[in-house]
Amino acid sequence: MLYRLARAGFFQLDAEKAHDLAIQNFKRFTGTPLDLFYRQHLPQRPVECMGLTFKNPVGLAAGLDKNGECIEAFGAMGFGFVEVGTVTPRPQPGNDKPRLFRLVHAEGIINRMG
């Protein structure tokens, strides 16, 4: 139910604005009682890859949390790993907007933020 409400609200916004709003809220709610809305307690299915052990095989790819602001929140969602970044020696302006596109039918996103 909460997911449907949040999704409907976010889909009224431009994809990049929705992304920014989500990051702001994850930062705001992490460590408060409200983080229970996104915290998951999933059974672990450990996977070993290249000498590393992950609690499950589903991870979050780089690009969603470009500045490493929500590592704890994304970890609490049950991902087996969270890749942070992209990390560069100096801040970069990124690509011109629009640069984040929803693929509604595929339930995906194209990220060209740069």
16-58 pLDDT tens trace:
999 999 999 989 988 888 777 777 777 879 999 999 999 889 8
Averaged pLDDT of the chain: 87
DSSP 2-31: HHHHHHHHHTTS-HHHHHHHHHHHHHHHTT
Residue from 74, 81, 75, 39 nearest 56 by CA: 81
Q: Are strands 81-82 and 59-60 parallel, antiparallel or unpaired?
A: parallel
pLDDT at 62: 83
How far apart CA 61 and CA 68 sit, in angstroms, is 12
Q: How far is 66 from 92, CA to CA, in rounded Å?
A: 11
